Structure 1
Amino acid sequence: MPPLLQRLHAARGAADPAQAQPRLAQLLSPDSLGGLDAAVALLARAIAEDRHILVVGDFDCDGATACAVGVRGLRMLGARRVSHAVPNRMVHGYGLSPGLVEDLAGLQPDLLVTVDHGIACHAGIAAAKARGWQVLVTDHHLPGDALPPADAIVNPNLRGDAFPSKMLAGVGVMFYVLLALRRHLFELPGREREDQAAATDGGSGHRQPPDLRSLLDLVAVGTVADLVPLDANNRALVAAGLRRLRAGQGCAGLRALIEVAGRDPGALTAADIGFALAPRLNAAGRLEDMALGIECLLSDDPCKARGIAATLDGINAERRALQQQMTDEAEAALARVTLEGVLPPALCLFDPHWHPGVVGLVASRLKERTHRPVFAFAPSEPGGASLRGSARSIPGLHIRDLLAAVDSAHPGLVERFGGHAMAAGLSLARDALPRFEQALQAQVARVLDPASLQAEVVSDGELQPHEFDALHARLLRDGGPWGQGYPEPLFDGCFAVLGWRIVGERHLKLELGSGRQRLNAIEFGGWDGQAPPASVRVAYRLEPDAYRGGDAIQLVVVHREPA
């Protein structure tokens, strides 16, 4: 491993190449993941008895990829009657709700498998059980005080679960369920194995175990998109999925999304997943129906997949425009608050005209700008009395635990909530918003260290002059995967500003000088109406310049200040 990569991985806690770039052989065994025995028994019996298995996804990228992994994987393992469904954000709300169960009744399922949700869906699971359906919950969200009445639950974050990695995304949990089911179906001893093989292969008894690695492209996309920390186990999954995508071995839907996004599949990175593929899938769930995104991921027809991907690309363009409008409105409201005084430790934003599918993106953008936890709300439906909110947090404040504390102190104020340390969703009555904001600010003031409100930029230090070249830019690009909890390399240094211009109204193109070197740089969203000073200190990423091609490089500036 080159010295630069050794230094970067060591700074992230990886002591040797095996820890820095883990392979599938190092993947954690399913043995310690709780609930797998019961889950496998349910699925194996459903396959053997030719029961109808209905995989119920969620309307974000993790939920969509988990649904596709579940459907594809169960079919690979011998299930003949597998279908899928996903709630519509505007009609059903989040997860397996009683309304969704009612709409699914016509499909006459025998076994529901929830992916990326279910741990908080008590009423929906009870409604499914009342109809005589079995329910398997696969989820990774934090559980509440009581568990839902499912037949089996697989979730690494259940209390007492011994699985070493709590960071699996929903798609990762489903993949582990399939790993355990595969072992059960194809690695049973003697006569029992032959009988099980016959039950899953029309009586031939000679079916070979399927290669579940073909699902890792989907696992990688869902894991990166959900912003779960990339611990060693997740990095092994993501790296393997990226290798398949770079080799052109991804499913037709992902290949089509790479194409419409204008990305080079041979040089695809985790950042490309996060900023190009995931938004196009998520846009379907935000503005339309995630059923379209799941259809793209399940398609094996390249022509059909390209058509769906083009539609998703169009929806994403609409989402970007709507997001920009809502963000501009939020920033204008924020400017009025700033004029009146000091910003509160948490921001609570609402506009009656906002779209509920985009409030999470607005919260994320405002969180980055203000370095404060942000809650953004919109009516669940136009003119409705119920609000749907999305929250984004900062290091040092566990946002889901914060909501749990507010709920405990004010029972009934929050109708529903769930999430992770850094992101959460909730719903409440419109007339309860002032009381919620008051309770929120009180709880944040109680638990948040004021020092956490000071933004920090953590750098990997300076690059040496000989490291500003295409070789090192490609090493950095391909040396990951980088992502949440294992950050992409970021460097800093002082440079002379040799030239600058505005690009696309909001971006700043720079020519920076260091010694005898002249370096191209770009700061996305960096134009603030003021010319940059003659000398700057910047934090930046070193990347190949895909626009100019060849051995061209550029610095992507993420922070700039006078030198």
Structure 2
Amino acid sequence: MTLFEQILAARGLSDASVRQAFLSPDYAATKYDPFLLSEMDKAVERLVLARQKQEKIVIYGDYDIDGLSATALLLDAFHSFGFQRLDAFIPNRFVEGYGMTIGAVNKVRDMGAQLIVTVDCGSLCHTEIAYAADLGIDTVVTDHHNIAPTRPPAIATVNPKYADHEYPFRDLCGAGVAFKLVQALQTRLDGLPDGYEKWLLDLVALGTVCDIVTLADENRANVYWGLEVLKKQRRTGLKALMAVSGIEPEIVNARHLGFGLGPRMNAAGRLDTAQHSLDMLTATDGIEALAASEKLEAFNVERRSIQDEIFKQACEQADGMADDRVLVVASEGWNHGVIGIVASKLVETYKKPVFIIGIRGDTATGSARSFGNFSAADAVRAADDIILRGGGHGAAAGVTLETAQIPAFRRRVNEFYDSLNLTDQVRFLQPSADVEVKDFAEITEELVEQISRMEPFGNGNPEPILKIAHAVVAGVRRMGANGQHVKIALRDASEKTLQVLAFNAPESFFREPGDEIAAWFQPNINEWNGVRTVEGRLLHVELR
């Protein structure tokens, strides 16, 4: 069995037919009937009526990439269907916050809305949807977030989280649900012939990858073919953003979406308003698209600078909390739109769950990141009596509390951690190898090309990780302005070497020549001055 076959077997892909379906996703095979989603029929009927009357429709999105992609998707499709009075509303993270609010509904009313179509939000907005109804505005909800025991008072609420449907795949993102609405409308309205909806898959792919839903089944097919659409550069805005990001369309992959386009689009909403990102997505003029993309690039540069400064300050606090099992760091003025990213970096650095809190006068708002068996959301719930509000899930949560309660909150979440009697949680942060290699002769350019056939990579289909249990450090080279990167020449038992590289490497990666180590890495191709060599992205090192 070849190394690639071993990797496929480790992923449960030994069966030939299963393997073929995985390596060559079939869009038609996973294009499930959208009317299997509950209340899709009601949503379509209301939109058909709106099309007949040419009512004013406002698409109510969200400021994250999934919501922005879904908003742009519906604007594009609705124009094709002949809706003439269309607008979009993207809430401001620092004004309206997530989801629908009464203030935002008033703004939508002032836009002349007769029908609101939400994307990536709305399932829990009972009060706001009822308020809109009192104003004479109907609402159709499309969403994928958590639901309440009762549906909101909307004309229709389309969400795969509900149990009362027979739809075979439930982990769609917001853009994925919006895409199902488009597929359903194709059965009732002219303007977007069957098959032409596939040109919207670039936006579906963007939302799916960046919202980190499972890349399996329908999601995998949508992202696979969405990347093919991106390669054809049909959307002016994304074409410009790829150019600004230095992404070559011919080789675009899911990693480019998650780590190239995504951060630039998110930066606008973190620092100002996500409307800038929607302007880029909907731009049809090349000059306007380039200007919008350059603005996003500038936001992203600024975001990195702010993020680095907050991280530095947070580390100064965390260094004095060596005995804390959960880090709770806080300061005045930390940007609420950036602290979640910093929380993730702190987890990587200190190997502990983290709450990072930005103080604004008497109130403070924080983001949490966790791992293993410690639920960030449960920790928030354990402090319910001393916070103003909060929630989330196991890996990430948010919290708002009075500034004076921060010390008490720090004690409470650490006491909650102790009550769980957890052991060896750091293991959850260590990479898990798909296969173990004995020597580097198997790490070839052909293997890297074979692994690329497993794209798109992401949640549910991570890029394969290889492990060599015994290698000798043949050479070490520090790189970067501050020596923060490391390149190591590893030698196996047969004296063959492989160069492995880690950016912003932890100190434990900086080994000495002659050290015997185990190494976890992902093989890739390095091309420099026309010369292609196989190297590895170093993920973890352990001394033997």
TM over 0.5: yes
Q: How does 1:17-28 map to 2 (within 5 A)?
A: 17-21=19-23, 22-27=25-30, 28=32
| Worse overlay, 276-285 or 368-377 | 368-377
- Structure 2 residue 434 is matched with structure 1 residue 460: yes
Given that 2:6 and 2:435 are in contact with CA atoms closer than 8 Å, whether structure 1 keeps it comes out as no
> Structure 1: which amino acid aligns with 2:355?
F
- Structure 2 residue 245 is matched with structure 1 residue 261: yes
Given that 1:373 and 1:393 are in contact with CA atoms closer than 8 Å, whether structure 2 keeps it comes out as yes
Aligned residue in 2 for 1:358: 338
CA–CA distance in structure 2, aligned partners of residues 214 and 113 of structure 1 = 21
CA–CA distance in structure 1, aligned partners of residues 275 and 68 of structure 2 = 8
Pairwise CA distance, 1:375: 2.4
Unaligned runs of 5+ in 1: 186-196, 202-206
Given that 1:5 and 1:479 are in contact with CA atoms closer than 8 Å, whether structure 2 keeps it comes out as no
Given that 2:223 and 2:456 are in contact with CA atoms closer than 8 Å, whether structure 1 keeps it comes out as yes
Alignment counterpart, residue 445 of structure 2, candidates 463, 470, 475 = 470
1:137-164, CA deviations, whole angstroms, 9 ceiling, x for partnerless residues?
Answer: 2111112455433222111113445433
Q: How many residues align?
A: 531
Pairwise CA distance, 1:358: 0.3
| Worse overlay, 310-319 or 264-273 | 264-273
1:475-533, CA deviations, whole angstroms, 9 ceiling, x for partnerless residues?
Answer: 32342211112111111122423231222322112333333433332111115398512
Aligned residue in 1 for 2:463: 488
Q: How does 1:155-304 map to 2 (within 5 A)?
A: 155-185=159-189, 197=190, 208-209=193-194, 211-246=196-231, 248-304=232-288
- Structure 2 residue 483 is matched with structure 1 residue 509: no
- Structure 2 residue 121 is matched with structure 1 residue 117: yes
Pairwise CA distance, 1:327: 1.4
Given that 2:476 and 2:512 are in contact with CA atoms closer than 8 Å, whether structure 1 keeps it comes out as no
> Structure 2: which amino acid aligns with 1:365?
K
> Structure 1: which amino acid aligns with 2:448?
A
Q: Indicate the percent of aligned positions where both proteins have the same amino acid.
A: 30
Aligned residue in 2 for 1:540: 521
Aligned residue in 2 for 1:385: 362
Unaligned runs of 5+ in 2: none
CA–CA distance in structure 2, aligned partners of residues 386 and 548 of structure 1 = 55
Secondary structure at 2:347 match in 1: helix
Secondary structure at 1:522 match in 2: strand
Secondary structure at 2:387 match in 1: coil
| Worse overlay, 351-360 or 322-331 | 322-331
1:61-102, CA deviations, whole angstroms, 9 ceiling, x for partnerless residues?
Answer: 111111111211222222221111101112222221112122
> Structure 1: which amino acid aligns with 2:245?
A
CA–CA distance in structure 2, aligned partners of residues 397 and 57 of structure 1 = 32
CA–CA distance in structure 2, aligned partners of residues 178 and 402 of structure 1 = 40
> Structure 2: which amino acid aligns with 1:415?
R
Pairwise CA distance, 1:474: 2.6
Aligned residue in 1 for 2:501: 522
Given that 1:509 and 1:523 are in contact with CA atoms closer than 8 Å, whether structure 2 keeps it comes out as yes
Aligned residue in 1 for 2:371: 394
CA–CA distance in structure 2, aligned partners of residues 160 and 433 of structure 1 = 42
Instruction: Flag the 1:447–1:434 CA change in 2: closer, same or farther, 3 A.
Output: same
Instruction: Flag the 1:154–1:544 CA change in 2: closer, same or farther, 3 A.
Output: same
Secondary structure at 2:486 match in 1: strand
Pairwise CA distance, 1:274: 1.0
| Worse overlay, 90-99 or 545-554 | 545-554
